[in-house]
Amino acid sequence: MAKHETPLLDQLESGPWPSFVSDLKQQAEVRAKNEAGVEFQIPQDAVEDLLGVLELSYKHGRTHWKHGGIVGVFGYGGGVIGRYCDQPKLFPGVEHFHTMRVAQPCGKYYTTEYLRTLTKIWDMRGSGITNMHGATGDIILLGTTTPQIEEIFYELTHNMNQDLGGSGSNLRTPADCLGSSRCEYACYDSNALCHFLTNNYQDELHRPAFPYKFKFKFDACPNCCVASIARSDMSFIGTWRDAIKIDQDAVNKYVENDAAYPPNAGAHKGKDWGPFDIEKEVLGLCPTKCMKFENKTLKIDDANCTRCMHCINTMPRALKIGDDRGCSILVGAKAPIVDGAQMGSLLVPFVEVNSDNDYEAITAVIENVWDWWMEEGKNRERLGELIMRQGFQKLLEVTGIDAQPQHVAYPRTNPYIFWKEEEVAGGWTRDVVEYRKHHLR
């Protein structure tokens, strides 16, 4: 019989959706029976008590977790998030219930042996509850006690060659998509770049020295499967510079509704969307209206294509990404903290990602940005907020990147170009005034 009554939580099990409450109840039962004969190092009824404290929080309409607290492993400042319950007498099993972040491998490739070893450690030294994966990308191990933290860290590092992830005001565990390991749209090897930067910035990952958190995310194409444009302070999004490759025969197969050419690669199978209409579903939805289909021939004005991927996703057998590939670097995205949520702004329109020199060029951009943010950023100010406060032009100055047309979202509405006095006093602004005088009457 359950240790705590949970009528409010039970409601979350109704409906057709999977429920974390059912998962927790199942885990509580497994621990109670302990058929595997695990020698638990934290209370056996920790998951029962977790359900109990959550029910109490729902009843009171407020959390019963105290604010974080400092816990960690020797030599690191991040990787463990302290959690203490403010009702330890009622729920002794979760008196301490710390979260550990474990760095996920690039592309999240695991062997079953790895997963078994990890869960074995966690069943014994933690609650057995995992979150695969947290919003940052790491493996999240939920719930252990202070004395177990060093033990778990030792087992991870010595027996599994596995590191902790980031937490606090440091570089958070970099996260990437599968990239060229499995995806035909990959414009660069996101796994390789993620791995390189993770190794290169170990100090920044483990020892918090930044004004606030900083996230790298790597999307190998503009489909943005890890949503780097919305979720990372610096996002690396694959793109190409040359033309989209068109197979005109395949385009016509889509237009003729050939069964072997289902639009969207058959992703909408089972729903009747009617016959495929290239005008409505491709040309009409191109954001820059840069496509034409005439005389059975598809034409794309590539200079005006923004590489949004819509047409390629819709007709994947007919259209392919170009061959001159690399990535764009965007900065400043964040979830709503101060001033609401923000998407990344384009900083580097295109950089190749093939050689050591390319990697060096990328680290130069990163380190210039960090130098400025660490110097000027206020405590708990994300990069995006500093850009808002001091201006994008300042960011261009500190990174030594020249303003380019791609930095302008819409002509004549550029919010971050301000003229300096010396530029206004003479130079080309004077020429503009002269030009207007003579030509724009």
Binding site for ligand SF4 (CB under 6 A): 286-288, 290-291, 300, 305-311
Nearer to ligand SF4 by C-beta: 230 or 286?
286
Side chain identity at residue 226, one-letter code: V
Q: Which is nearer to ligand SF4, 186 or 197 (CB)?
A: 186
Buried b (16+ CB within 10 A) or exposed e, 150-174: eebbebbeeeeebbbbbbbbbbbbb
CB 326 within 8 A of CB 241: yes
- The SS3 assignment for 317 reads coil
Distance CA 155, CA 169 (A): 25
Minimum CB distance to ligand SF4, residue 268 (Å): 18
**187, 221 contact by CB (below 8 A):** yes
Kindly tell me which of 73 and 278 has the beta carbon lying closer to ligand SF4.
278
- Whose CA is closest to 375, among 397, 407, 398? 398
Residues 26, 148: Cα–Cα separation, whole Å: 24
Relative to beta strand 234-240, strand 297-300 is: unpaired
**Residue 382 C-beta: closest distance to ligand SF4, Å:** 30
Rounded to the nearest whole angstrom, what is the least distance from the CB of residue 222 to ligand SF4 in the complex?
8
Structure tokens at 216: 């790298």
**CB nearer to ligand SF4: pick between 290 and 398:** 290
Name which of 299 and 436 has its Cβ closer to ligand SF4: 299
Q: How far is it, in rounded angstroms, from Cα 29 to Cα 32? A: 5
Smallest separation (angstroms) from ligand SF4 to the CB of 309: 5
Residue 137 or 316 with smaller CB distance to ligand SF4: 316
Minimum distance from residue 177 beta carbon to ligand SF4 (Å): 18
Q: Residue 250 has which token pair?
A: 């395949």
Q: How far is the CB of 422 from ligand SF4 (least distance, A)?
A: 39
Q: With contact defined as beta carbons under 8 Å apart, do 256 and 305 qualify?
A: no
